[in-house]
A and B are shown apart, each in its own frame.
Chain A
Amino acid sequence: MTTASLGTTTRSKDGVAKIILYAVLVLGLLVVVGPFLWMVLSSFKPEADIRSVPPTWWPETFTLGNYRDLFARLDFPQYFFNSALVAALVTAGNLLFCSMLGYALAKLSFPGRKTLFLLVLGMLMVPGMATFVPQFVLVSNLGMANSYAGLILPFLAGPFGVFLMRQFLQSIPDDLIEAARVDGAGEWRIFFRIVLPLCKPALATLGILTFLSSWNNFLWPLVVATTEDKYTLPVALALYSVGQNQTFYGLLLAGAVVVVVPVLIVFLVLQRHFLRGIATTGLK
């Protein structure tokens, strides 16, 4: 076999492999993204068209009725506000408290530091399902059942954030901090003026991850929020869809769109950052 013919066979082999690869991946993409497209498109269909057999893709008659119903029949602005408030405060709290402890663990020496780090690491393993009963007993004994405090406080201090911030802070050279100390800067000044600005990539990753998990959190708000004015979006949507109202499919689809779209925007804008964070930290 001459080199020339070898070259052409590899090239044509590559061509076939390429076609198969694209075919499989595009099919996969359709299977994954297709249902989302269908959800968005169907939320603009009238009730009868959603349930039509066989199912259709494009809305024949375009309507905003489902979205109007969402606001007319359910208190969606309230649920949206609750979700946004909880997610924003949980995210802000985690960014501040986790980076503070991360800084202490990585750059300051104090008695009990190692024990504290081991405790945080150990808690990374504990599943939410194992602690939610005593957590609920505690929160209701503190008088925080069905309150924003009850929804927010248990999530302000997550072990994952500390782990992430500590790992990142260890890569910041000690000399930099030492130099600032020599110049007479206090620890708080060093932390806010020098350390935090250097942590932007880690803070961004932690911020997105925390916001997403809070926005999508389900079990805890389901248990803690007992009156409608404290429901978060997922809780409202779930209780509405597993209740007696199963026939209002249009409403459910529009609700799902409202839950998904803000996250989708955050994710699409920041996905580069986000996926890199996932890949390097390996945690949701």
Chain B
Amino acid sequence: MTAVQEKAAGEVPLRDTPAPDRRRWRRAVTGWAFAAPFTVLFVVFSALPVVAALVLSLTDLRSTDLRNPFAVNFVGFDNYTKLFSDELFLKSAGNTLIFVLVGVPLTMVIALAAATGLNSGLLRFKALFRVGFYLPAVTSIVAIAVIWRFLLDPEAGLLNNLLSLIGIDGPNWLGDSSTALPSLIAMSAWRNFGFLMVIFLAGLQGIPGDLYEAATIDGAGRWQQFRSITLPLLRPTLLFGAVVTGIGYLQLFEEPFVMTQGGPLNSTLSVSYHIYNQFGFGNYGYAAAASYVLFVAIVGLSVLQFRLLGSRED
């Protein structure tokens, strides 16, 4: 239509300003030229595997079939039914659930306490504390595992030697099935609270100081101010922190891999570790099904947490 109008007006397009159709075409080409490298890599290596995981979970693909795709059968939801009657999977799901349910609140409380302390007007050398507390979060989990295996060593370890000073005979933290999972939870809280602390600190600094001043004039104590000003205003940040930490803990793998190899007696076997093991045994279809269950759990957790914490605000 525009072309007709232009002709009617008798305009001769200049050499440097192409007709709208051509210009739109050129804009599309330029846009996609910028988008193409990322998009190709992204689709091939990330988006496609998400779809492939679903298809894979409906097959009996094994590592030995990789060179002979015709040997693969579609088995429907067999892998999923197998999954929920697999004692090891149920055990790993239970362990992962405990890890999330205890680990998330623990990490958040420590992070919030640290952030509140660092936000206090009384404190100097804030950068020192901030950097120190953040340090474990930038450290490779493998290096952290090396350190913590020494800390938790029943004989030569620092922790049990400190406990013996006050007359307590410390347990074999990682070697006992009743203390191994709690040890990993404590280690994860130690490692991850600094990351949350930085986010909470940014949230705290976004709360206007006037509110606290007004509350002080009204005679509200520190604790009262924390409960009626800080916590409500920080709710979106806390929610975000809970979701991110929960998602991270649901995927628990590295900690048990480097600290306990899932033991003792599978007490630290996580869902991710179970997937990794099944993958290692060559059960690709089964491992993909377990991955999808984890994926759904992660999406579910995000939705649930948004519902629970979000609704209170209304």
Contacts and interface: CB of A to CB of B under 8 A. Distances in A.
B140 A131 contact: no
A35 B144 CA distance: 9
A7 to B, nearest CB: 14
Contact of B117 (A25, A127, A141): A25
Contact of A131 (B46, B122, B198): B46
A17 B151 CA distance: 32
A39 B46 CA distance: 37
B234 interface: no
Contacts of A33: 132, 135
Tell me whether chain B's interface is mostly helix, strand or loop, or mixed. Answer: helix
A50 B202 CA distance: 40
B82 interface: no
Number of chain A interface residues as a range: 35 or more
A21 B257 CA distance: 37
Interface stretch (A62-70, A150-158, A172-180, A196-204): A150-158
A86 to B, nearest CB: 14
B295 A126 contact: yes
Interface string B40-65: 01101111111011001000010000
Contact of A153 (B45, B155, B198, B240): B45
Given A18-B122, A32-B136, A234 B142 contact: yes
Interface stretch (B2-10, B26-34, B86-94, B100-108): B26-34
Interface of B: 27-28, 30-32, 34-35, 37-39, 41-42, 44-50, 52-53, 56, 61, 66, 114, 117-118, 120, 122-123, 127-143, 145-151, 155-158, 161, 190, 194-195, 198-199, 201-202, 240, 244, 247, 250-251, 253-254, 257-258, 261, 272, 275-276, 279, 284, 287-288, 291-292, 294-295, 298-299, 302
Given A125-B299, A156-B41, 13 more contacts: A32-B135, A53-B156, A133-B53, A133-B56, A138-B44, A138-B48, A157-B42, A216-B138, A218-B140, A223-B279, A257-B143, A271-B134, A282-B244
